[in-house]
Structure formats: structure tokens, C-alpha cells
Amino acid sequence: MTATLIWILVALVAIGLYLSWTAGRLDRLHARIDAARAALDAQLLRRASVAQELATSGVLDPAASIVLYEAAHAARQAEEEQREVAESELSQALRAVFAETAQVETVKEAPGGEAAIHELTEAVRRVPMARRFHNDAVGGARRLREHRKVRWFRLAGHAPFPMAFEMDDEPPAALVDRAG
């Protein structure tokens, strides 16, 4: 009888340790999602800021300036529910404005243009990477949260179900050619 109770106690402690380890792993994944989201937000803000600076610099033609400024402003001011759409529209505006290498060369010829194009190139290159890191972290947390043990024992607590950030992040061809 005593041996049976000891074995039951050992089994319960082992199960408790395993569940605690799983809950800790899930917590670390949620922290990783938060850090990746902060990095993604920083890169999106940087891209929108650089685009807005270029739009107001007077280097671009007026139509391109208006398109780029409005898209960048909308991306910076978008509510969370509309953020993916606004960022996708900024990507489309960047592709429209910098579709040809001639536009990039025009900006580079202006005072400070080389630095502005370099900063924009870096910004549009980093956004897809930051989004990929975020979505990878979300995928890992979602896969773990789908396990029965996580659902049955409510190991996720009250944390919201993680959502991927889906947007059009294809960079302008002229900037990609320049970076490559």
C-alpha cells in the first residue's frame, strides 16, 4: 500500500513537472512573440518614416510624393485592425514610385539622396525578415497551443491566441536590384 502511494506521488510530481515545463515553454514563446512584434513594429515604423521623409524632400515628382506620403502616413496612423492593409498599401506605393531604376538614380543625385536611398533600401529589406521572425514565433506558439495537454490543463492561461502578421512586403524591384 505504501509503495503504491509513493509511486502515485512520484507519477503526479513527474506529470506536474512536465506540465510546468510545458507552461514555461509556452510562456517563453509568448515572450518571443512580443519581442518579435516589437521588432516588426520598429521596422515598419522606420520604413514609413523614411518613405515620408522622401515624399516631403521635394526630390520626387509631385504625384509620386503625394502617393508615397499618403501611404506612409496611413501606415503610421493605422489602427491595429487595419495595420496589415495599410502596410501592404505602403509596399504597393513604394513599388509604384520606385518601379524603375531611373527614379532611384534621380533621388541619389539630390543632396543627401544616396543616404536616403540606402536607408530606404535597408528598411524595405528588413521588414520581410522581421515579419518572418514574428510569424515563425507565432507558428511555434500556435503548434504548442494546439496540443491537448495545453488545452486540457489551460496552460496558456489568459494569453490571447497569437495571430500572424500578413501583409504584402515585396520590396520595389529597383531597390532590390541596387541592394543585390
Whole-number pLDDT of residue 180:
47
For residue 54, the model assigns a pLDDT of 94
Which CA distances in Å does 151 have to 18, 33, 47, 54, 135?
15, 19, 39, 49, 22
Find the length of the chain: 180
pLDDT of residue 100: 87
| pLDDT tens per residue across span 110-163 | 898 899 999 999 999 999 999 999 999 999 999 999 999 999 999 988 889 999
Q: For the chain, give percent helix, strand, coil, nearest 5.
A: 80, 0, 20
Question: What is the reported pTM?
Answer: 0.90
